Amino acid sequence: MHSRHSTVKNWDERVATILTLVKGPTLLHVGCVGGGVPDVPDKERHHLHFQLCEALPEAEIVGIDVNGDGIREMKSKGLNVLQMDAEEMAFEGSFDTIVAGELIEHLCNPGRFLEGCRWTLKPGGRVVLTTPNPFSLMYFLMYAKNFKSAFNPGHSLWFCPQTLSQRARRAGFSVTELRFVDSLCPELVPSGWYKSFALCWKFLRPLLPKRFRNTIVAVLEPA
């Protein structure tokens, strides 16, 4: 287990950071299918739901996602998951932590999702979410290379620390912790450009402020 997590920490700080921020015995993972159900160990090392289940074996972890095929596949692997829309969560005061990794930037109505989180959390609970950092060096270079898009065509909006804090405040939360980390998986992406960037960035990033890393990790707590 130690070798697996050291690989995650080296290349995917997003997953490793989330694991340090979850609290309580009950956990809801919104968007648990993510980019797809992993079918090889390398993909499992970067898949947030599998890493949550491995690192927190005593926790009660429920996953939800709108991807019906992905949910059925995860159920076949013995995971406690449900098909459900992030903007229509049907829980009330049920969870100590809600995790939403790389989800909020895909939603039609992120405010409705955050308001649902308030309803879903137990007293004293928290939301741990991640979202791409639009001002990172990696996304700037991708935008310069691609002209029209920086990364994922499924993104409907971008969040910076200011807009994320404002959106959280309007839903009754405050951002109590904010970190900038890197989420890189060069062993899974065939792009030679991406692999070259990851290799160069490994040596360059200690020289630059953390705000240039590609992922924002935020902890939201009821205000």
| Alpha-carbon distances, residue 212 vs 56, 74, 168, 195 (angstroms) | 30, 34, 22, 18
> What was the pLDDT predicted at 88?
95
What sections of 80-183 are H helices per DSSP? Answer: 110-120, 137-146, 161-170
pTM beyond 0.75: the answer is yes
Q: What kind of fold does domain 2-222 have according to CATH?
A: Rossmann fold (3.40.50)
Angle formed by the axes of helices 2-11 and 48-55, nearest 10°:
140
At residue 129, the pLDDT reads 98
pLDDT tens, residue by residue, 71-103: 999 999 999 999 999 999 989 899 999 999 999
Residue 2 confidence (pLDDT): 33
**Amino acid, res. 18:** I
User: 214 versus 145: which is more confidently predicted?
Assistant: 214
Tell me: the pLDDT tens digits for 13-70?
999 999 999 999 999 999 999 989 988 887 888 899 999 999 999 999 999 999 999 9
Q: Tell me the H-state helices in 34-153.
A: 41-44, 48-55, 68-76, 110-120, 137-146
Does residue 12 carry a pLDDT above 50?
A: yes
| Contact between 215 and 121 (Cβ < 8 Å) | no
Based on DSSP, count helices (H) and strands (E) in the chain, helices before strands: 9, 7
Q: Which of 52, 105, 111 is nearest to 81 (CA)?
A: 52
